[in-house]
């Protein structure tokens, strides 16, 4: 997926136009344009030149976003708009005060004027025109962007503002000419609307500045994460400590971290021990003890001891950089609910222009003056707000993603952030998800050579149960026998060749394929399973060697997490490849009533399909065998400590591997969706109510709207939408309501 910076966009109509233009390029399979970050994500085989050319032909600018090695150096989220808009605003208001004094202060309230202006209405009007023209010049971007959009047949918000201001200025200029040729020019002063032309621009600029400031705050969570990345670190070169840029750290380098310093890259501790603050990645404030052999991640903070580490992942490969990348990409994508606003935004501006023209014509037919009719049309143009529609979804998505990232919950796309809120069923893997995934050998029942053969077979497997047997074998000094033809049967077991005989290990159904298992062994296995342990059968040739029982400890938060999901109205189901008795025992301990056990990966996937007939399903897993079901589910949730395959297949990643974060992710999603709905409701209702009022539909009741008030209302509309989204920053994702 390629990322581009897009310039010249002012509202949702602009982003919709850019998106449409790029999607028409041959080789582009998908395109998502973010008005919030002025960025664009494009997927497909189309060249950069073709994509940039399409954007430029649509009337905007684009360039390929340069890759930053360090997230902390990426200034793409910096608020560059506010200072520029503030400067424009202050200068505009300086001239606007003089203009308002001449137009309203003197004309309406008889404020005193210099002697050379007294009894000279034409000169007063001329000065108003000059001051108005200066304000127009200061805010010329509205006109260049607006009329450029009109030329490219893609009118936008700036088009509405430019047309409204231009109409006021042109009509006032016409009246000014009449003043010069008329003998009684004083009564024309009330027909001048130069102050409206200037005030509209100033108020819209004020609104844009407030909006820009608020938009800047929506990225605060992400920017605060970026700032945690250190710029320099200390590495050992030629036996001496040397201060270098983090960019210069290579895989395999030895670096040291003192108390109070941040970890520069991902690595493994090779000396010393300490307590690390990992809240930047996990959201957990409690420090985590680390010693030799433990993994450390970039941007975490060393709180106590001196540690020496070996770099394992650097640059963009660090966990921290990947988190930043995920959050950025998710913020640039669009939620399904945003498609409603996009469709409306695409036709909004042309419809408003048509309404404004119709309003002018209708009032003229009804016998009203040109001035009255024009003011009504201008009010329609300037009060309409496509920006609020365009910002309703992306600002909430940005804040929600940032909040999730700070809490150790990563949403890969905007769609996943929305979909999680609709979850009705949560399907959970057992090992590594509900349990710690660190099983231990508890019982050995069988032949004397059982442990050695089991150790030799399981040594080539990466399964958590296999690791438990291997660990036990190593602790007891068992030596491995040479095996060949090693094969893994997912969800079943393993087999290999030893001394020209087949050895196998796994669950009862799998081992039964090779040997007959006595009723005595099956009874013992059932007893083991009833205690929550997993019995693993081993056989050599035609002989059953025995059973090794393995038990996995339940995570401390599993029962609480299941209870929270139930209180949220969500059904929980366990899907596991483990034997039925063991699975049911674990399920009972954590409060899960529905259990589907002894499932192979393809059976897990089918189980997800069946559950989807009953509602929206979220699958939670951590292993390679969970990847198909994670992909099949409406929402795939990967435990952060799981395999890369599982994480790649998932839509949401729980960095700190706590099961309770499943409920937290759903709560955050629900809160974000609520904000989006509120924003969309406000944006639609605002336009539905305000446009008729501006058009003069309620003149009969004495209700009219001045264009200046319309401009102020339009500006505040976008500001309100952005500010509402910022409330998510105060949402506690881990607190049950």
Neighbour-count burial of 606, counting CB atoms closer than 10 A to its CB (0-12 exposed, 13-18 middle, 19+ buried)? middle
Token pair listed for 735 = 């607190």
Strands (E), 303-405: 307-313
Instruction: Kindly give, in sequence order, each residue whose CB lies less than 8 Å from that of residue 33, ignoring residues fewer than 6 positions away.
Output: 6, 9, 15, 16, 18, 19, 22, 39, 40
Task: Identify the H or E element spanning 269.
Answer: strand 266-271
Dihedrals phi, psi of 639, to nearest 5 degrees: -70, 130
Please state, in angstroms and rounded to a whole number, the distance separating the CA atoms of residues 650 and 639: 9
Q: Using the 8-state DSSP alphabet, how is residue 480 labeled?
A: P
User: Taking every pair of C-alpha atoms in the chain, what is the biggest distance, in angstroms?
Assistant: 122
What pairs with residue 488 in β-bridges? 494
Please state, in angstroms and rounded to a whole number, the distance separating the CA atoms of residues 506 and 508: 7
Report which of 472, 515, 511 is spatially closest to residue 489, judged by C-alpha positions.
511
Considering 158, 342, 429, 651, which one is annotated as catalytic? 429
CB 292 within 8 A of CB 315: no
Please state, in angstroms and rounded to a whole number, the distance separating the CA atoms of residues 704 and 711: 14
CB 607 within 8 A of CB 629: yes
CA pseudo-torsion sign 130, 131, 133, 138: positive
| Pairing mode of beta strands 652-654, 409-411 | antiparallel
Q: What 3-state DSSP class applies to 146?
A: helix
CB 729 within 8 A of CB 415: no
> Distance from first CA to last CA of the chain, Å, rounded?
38
Please state, in angstroms and rounded to a whole number, the distance separating the CA atoms of residues 570 and 567: 7
Instruction: Kindly give, in sequence order, each residue whose CB lies less than 8 Å from that of residue 199, ignoring residues fewer than 6 positions away.
Output: 96, 100, 707, 708, 711
CB 508 within 8 A of CB 517: yes
CA pseudo-torsion sign 598, 601, 603, 605: positive
Rg (CA), the chain: 34
C-beta atoms surrounding 715 within 10 Å: 24
Specify whether 429 is catalytic.
yes
Locus of tokens 């127009």: 136
CA pseudo-torsion sign 613, 614, 620, 623: negative
Q: For 147-200, give the DSSP string.
A: HHHHHTT---HHHHHHHHHHHHHHHHHHHHHHHHH-S--GGGGGG--HHHHHHH
Task: Identify the H or E element spanning 274.
Answer: strand 274-277
Please state, in angstroms and rounded to a whole number, the distance separating the CA atoms of residues 429 and 440: 19
| Pairing mode of beta strands 425-428, 571-575 | parallel
Q: Using the 8-state DSSP alphabet, how is residue 314 labeled?
A: -
Please state, in angstroms and rounded to a whole number, the distance separating the CA atoms of residues 168 and 154: 23
Determine the Cα angle at 83 with ends 686 and 152, to 5°: 60
Q: Using the 8-state DSSP alphabet, how is residue 697 labeled?
A: T
Please state, in angstroms and rounded to a whole number, the distance separating the CA atoms of residues 660 and 434: 10
Chain center to CA of 254: 35
Active site residues: 429
């Amino acid at each position: 997926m390629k990322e581009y910076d897009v310039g010249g966009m002012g509202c949702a109509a602009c982003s919709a136009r850019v998106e449409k233009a790029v999607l028409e390029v041959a080789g582009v399979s998908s395109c998502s344009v973010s008005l919030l970050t002025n960025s664009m994500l494009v997927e497909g085989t189309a060249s950069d030149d073709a994509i940039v050319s399409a954007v430029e032909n649509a009337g905007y600018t684009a360039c390929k976003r340069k890759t930053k090695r360090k997230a902390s150096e990426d200034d793409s989220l910096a608020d560059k708009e506010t200072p520029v808009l503030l400067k424009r605003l202050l200068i505009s208001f300086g001239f606007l005060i003089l203009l308002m004094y001449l137009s309203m202060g003197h004309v309406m309230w008889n404020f005193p004027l210099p002697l050379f202006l007294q009894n000279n209405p034409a000169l007063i009007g001329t000065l108003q025109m000059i001051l108005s023209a200066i304000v127009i010049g200061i805010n010329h971007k509205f006109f260049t962007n607006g009329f450029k959009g009109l030329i490219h047949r893609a009118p936008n918000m700036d088009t509405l503002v430019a047309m409204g201001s231009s109409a006021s200025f042109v009509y006032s200029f016409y009246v000014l000419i009449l003043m010069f040729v008329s003998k009684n020019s004083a009564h024309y002063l009330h027909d001048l609307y130069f102050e409206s032309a200037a005030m509209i621009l100033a108020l819209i600029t004020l609104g844009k500045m407030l909006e820009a400031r608020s938009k800047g705050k929506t990225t605060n969570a992400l920017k605060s994460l970026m700032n945690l990345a250190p710029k320099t670190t200390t590495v050992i070169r030629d036996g001496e400590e040397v201060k270098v840029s983090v960019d210069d750290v290579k895989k395999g380098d030895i670096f040291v971290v003192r108390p109070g310093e941040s970890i520069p890259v991902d690595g493994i501790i090779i000396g010393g021990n300490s307590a690390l603050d990992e809240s930047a990645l996990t959201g957990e404030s409690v420090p985590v003890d680390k010693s030799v052999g433990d993994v450390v991640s970039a941007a975490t903070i060393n709180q106590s001891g001196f540690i020496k580490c070996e770099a394992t992942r650097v640059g963009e490969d660090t966990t921290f950089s990947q988190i930043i990348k995920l959050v950025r990409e998710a913020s640039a994508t669009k939620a399904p609910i945003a498609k409603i606003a996009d469709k409306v935004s695409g036709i909004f501006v042309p419809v408003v222009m048509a309404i404004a023209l119709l309003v002018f014509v209708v009032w003229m037919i009804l016998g009203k003056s040109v001035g009255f009719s024009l003011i009504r049309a201008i009010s329609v143009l300037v009060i309409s707000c496509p920006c609020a529609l365009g910002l309703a979804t992306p600002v909430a998505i940005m804040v929600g993603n940032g909040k999730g990232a700070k809490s150790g919950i990563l949403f890969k796309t905007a769609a996943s952030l929305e979909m999680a809120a609709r979850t009705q069923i949560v399907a959970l893997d057992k090992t590594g998800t509900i349990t710690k995934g660190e099983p231990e050998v508890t019982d050995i029942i069988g032949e004397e050579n059982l442990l050695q053969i089991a150790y030799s077979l399981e040594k080539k497997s990466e399964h958590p149960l296999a690791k438990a047997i291997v660990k036990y074998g190593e602790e007891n000094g068992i030596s491995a026998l040479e095996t060949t033809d090693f094969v893994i049967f997912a969800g079943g077991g393993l087999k290999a060749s030893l001394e020209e005989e087949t050895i196998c290990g796994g669950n009862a159904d799998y081992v039964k394929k090779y040997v007959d298992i006595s009723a005595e062994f099956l009874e013992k296995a059932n007893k083991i399973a009833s205690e929550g342990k997993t019995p693993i059968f081993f056989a050599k040739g035609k002989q059953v060697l025995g059973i090794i029982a393995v038990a996995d400890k339940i995570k401390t938060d599993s029962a609480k997490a299941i209870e929270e999901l139930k209180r949220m109205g969500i059904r929980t189901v366990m899907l596991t490849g483990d034997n039925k008795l063991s699975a049911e025992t674990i399920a009972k301990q954590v409060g899960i009533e529905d259990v589907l056990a002894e499932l192979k990966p393809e059976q897990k996937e089918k189980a997800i399909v069946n559950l989807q007939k009953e509602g929206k399903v979220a699958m939670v897993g951590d292993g390679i065998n969970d990847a198909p079901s994670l992909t099949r589910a409406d929402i795939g949730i990967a435990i952060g400590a799981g395999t890369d395959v599982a994480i790649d297949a998932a839509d949401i990643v729980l960095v700190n591997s706590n099961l309770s974060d499943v409920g937290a992710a759903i709560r955050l999603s629900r809160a974000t969706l609520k904000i989006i709905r509120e924003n969309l409701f406000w944006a639609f209702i605002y336009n539905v109510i305000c446009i008729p009022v501006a058009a003069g539909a309620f003149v009969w009741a004495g209700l009219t709207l001045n264009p200046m008030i319309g401009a102020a209302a339009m500006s505040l509309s976008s500001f309100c939408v952005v500010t509402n989204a910022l409330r998510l920053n105060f949402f506690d994702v881990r607190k049950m309501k």
